[in-house]
Copies of this chain bind each other. A is one copy, B any other.
Amino acid sequence: MKVLVLLVAIIVGAAHECHGSEHGASFQIFPLRMKTGSGGHYIPEVSCASWRLGVEAHNVIEWKTVPLSCEGYIGNYILGDQYRSDSKTVNQQAYFYAKTLNITAKDVWVFDIDETSLSNLPYYAQHGFGVEPYNATAFNEWVELGEAPALPESQKLYKKLLSLGVKIVFLTGRPLDQKTVTVANLKRAGYNTWFKLILKDTSIYHGKTAVTYKSSERKKLEEEGYNIIGNIGDQWSDILGTNTGDRTFKLPDPMYYIS
């Protein structure tokens, strides 16, 4: 009996400790302890979480691939509830904001496509979740299938914005020659209507960054008299630059970086 009680105590203790490690801290709030010097132990999950936060808050920039040691962490994140929950929070904030506005016929909302409206997870799950360098040939083969599923939380926002009377503009880095498959994929995934679908004219924007291309296309929209009331994307390059819109929303994407 004593052994049992002891073991139960260990189980409870372990669960407790462990629950605590969810936040990289013991679960009980312990007295303030600011470590000085080079001390402090950093377990991989803690560091990979910091890397991901660094990416999302635009502190870690211009990176080529996910750190090799973070493949498992990013895979778990992106396939799990946290990615879905993080996406939901961003889209909810966007809707709470949109709801407060008096929408006119000139109001548009800009949606990026990849990892914003459509998910390429079926591709990335087969390619190391961003650990492998970008392979244009393989990725374009996937895009040509036209099978990317909707990101469900973004799609909810899309539908709510439509019902508020907001015009939807898709603005994507996909090249013009992927227009047919992109239209088909959007419709297949449940995005049935939009005001404009803007793909990248590589004869104009060859070698230009996404920031330059997207800023330029948003400027055209505003010159045509439209107000960009909102702008949502998974890359900072979707929402930086000029004519960014009245409010911007950054969806999570720890798998790749586009400047």
Contacts and interface: CB of A to CB of B under 8 A. Distances in A.
A36 B152 contact: yes
B81 A41 contact: yes
Given A14-B15, A35-B152, A88 B29 contact: no
Contact of A53 (B4, B56, B75): B56
A9 to B, nearest CB: 11
Contact of A29 (B24, B54, B72): B72
Contacts of A3: 4
A84 interface: yes
Contacts of A82: 23-25, 46, 49-50
Interface residues of A, number: 73
Contacts of A51: 89
* Copies of this chain, tallied across the complex: 2
A14 B17 CA distance: 11
Contact of A22 (B7, B22, B58, B89): B22
A93 B25 contact: no
Contacts of A121: 32, 34
A218 to B, nearest CB: 19
Contacts of A50: 82, 85-86, 88-89
Closest 5 CB pairs of A and B: A25-B80, A24-B82, A18-B18, A24-B81, A50-B89
Contacts of A34: 119, 121, 149-152
B59 A57 contact: no
B29 A79 contact: yes
B36 A86 contact: no
A237 to B, nearest CB: 14
Interface string A110-132: 00000000010110010000000
A75 B7 contact: no
Contacts of A77: 23-25
B40 A80 contact: no
Contacts of A202: none
A133 interface: no
A226 interface: no
Contact of A46 (B20, B85, B149): B85
A25 B56 contact: no
